[in-house]
Structure 1
Amino acid sequence: MSVAEIDSEARQNIVETEPQFVPSTHCVVIMEQPPLMGDEPPPQWRVSVTLTLRDKALGKGAVLADLPTVIVGPLIHKRQVVAIAKYPSPVDRWSFRFESDAGRATARVWLHPGTSPVTECGLFVVQHGWKE
């Protein structure tokens, strides 16, 4: 598992899986947001991911591929699963990027890679919230 602090005002917010936890076919993204100050609206985060693939069918070297960007949030729990990335073959490294339009948004991010039979490919938001 990888963990990192992200800050919307930083130049880059990239969190990558650690080499000892790969290859994997999925990666769960967990985020924790500190309490908001004053009346600031809760931020939404744009999350994108680049996969590092090593497959003989793709050539000798590593191949980088991006999955479509998703929007997660606002977070409603202190710590919650926000997204899961899936790819139907082993991924050497998951590199997630985080951006927010909020004035100053910070969060802690955990990446939890794993291996399971995968029939889908993409970055999927895990919905949270009250349904009426």
Structure 2
Amino acid sequence: MKFTGIDHFVLTVEDVETTCVFYESLGGEVVTFGDDRRAVRFGDQKINLHPIDNDVPHVAGDPTPGGGDFCLLTETPIEEVERRLREQGIEVVTGPVERTGAVGPMTSVYVRDPDGNLVEIARYDRE
């Protein structure tokens, strides 16, 4: 098998609408698909949102709100990301810090979404 990337992943959340508002404030695009399901798209990838009491047939073994830890990539300078987060009242938990991503060094800040998922926002360092 040859893999080409990640299309989407799923977060189990307490309140889909609150989660949509949070990720939309980060620049995501809220989309509706299938049987009125919700997701947030970032570029060519999306985060599907399952409510804790969902009726989706295929889910993780123990879907739990707040169990996610993932990274969103940005082209925006991290200083600008920090400023925008402060303006929206979103606390930066850690950062900026140097990290290593899938394809090289990057600078990251970390925030928590309404369910407590750890969201890394990172920009690849450029020469």
The TM-score range, normalised by the shorter chain, is under 0.3
- Higher strand proportion: 1
TM-score by length of 2: 0.24
Higher relative contact order (CA 8 A, sep 6+): 1
- Higher helix proportion: 2
